[in-house]
Amino acid sequence: QVQLQESGPGLVKPSETLSLTCAVSGYSISSDYYWGWIRQPPGKGLEWIGSIYHSGSTYYNPSLKSRVTISVDTSKNHFSLKLSSVTAADTAVYYCARGTHGSVVSAEVWGKGTTVTVSS
Amino acid sequence: QSVLTQPPSVSGAPGQRVTISCTGSSSNIGAGYDVHWYQQLPGTAPKLLIYGNSNRPSGVPDRFSGSKSGTSASLAITGLQAEDEADYYCQSYDSRLSGLFGGGTKLTVL
């Protein structure tokens, strides 16, 4: 079955760039679906960050768009998130997910999440 | 305050039926965009309960159902069980704001 696994630094300094990768197993990213990132600050609700199709087509949350880049590497069957100029407000659990068929924003299969703390 | 409005909390006794509302606007739910619902147990990743307004993924019990009307959507849970105690989130697409989640609703099983 499809499995997703986030990886990346758990601690990022303010003003630096947060970089995470989501490795996909059990399904080829090149086949179909949108692949997205969602985050959850401590004790708060979910926030949709953005998503990407294997063709490279992307959708971003307008509130983060100026700082976010989502990319896909079909040869490695993974996709990535870069968030620049981070502040403490970017501290959160970051999830990667695969959408439902035809949906840009939904998330049917989730990774377990990775905690990223922004602190000096 | 979220663009998709959910009640902060709902509660019900075992066996009862509860509903969770998700109120949007003409730029999201009212524009015809699909609504999705998620359940999040403490310390775990969210789980998709309902997609495309009323469809259940494989493995989700039929005690969970979704509906949509106008600018609002609802999640109904029948035959409430202790294991249903969790946070529930609605989600949709907005023509101005792209992906949106509601603020979340904490369900307490009394």
- CA-nearest of A59, A68, A54, A77 to A18 is A68
The length of chain B in residues reads: 110
- Other beta carbons within 10 angstroms of residue B108's beta carbon come to 12
For residue range A40-80, list pLDDT tens digits in order.
Answer: 999 999 999 999 998 889 999 999 999 999 999 999 999 99
User: Would you state the structure tokens that stand for residue B60, as one six-digit string?
Assistant: 């989700």
Residue A56 CA to residue A30 CA, distance in Å, equals 10
The answer on pLDDT for A91 being more than 70 is yes
- Other beta carbons within 10 angstroms of residue A71's beta carbon come to 13
> Which residue numbers of A have CB closer than 8 Å to B's CBs?
36, 38, 45-48, 50-51, 59-63, 95, 100, 103-108, 110-113
For residue range A94-106, list pLDDT tens digits in order.
Answer: 999 999 988 999 9
CB B3 within 8 A of CB B97: yes
Are residues B89 and A110, on separate chains, in Cβ contact within 8 Å? no
User: Would you state the structure tokens that stand for residue B23, as one six-digit string?
Assistant: 């109120």
pLDDT, tens digit only, all 110 positions of chain B: 678 999 999 999 999 999 999 999 999 999 999 999 999 999 999 999 999 999 999 999 999 999 999 999 999 999 999 999 999 999 999 988 889 999 999 999 99
Residue B52 C-alpha, separation from nearest chain A C-alpha, in angstroms: 9
CB B100 within 8 A of CB B2: yes
Express as a percent the part of chain A with pLDDT over 90: 93
Residue A4 CA to residue A26 CA, distance in Å, equals 9
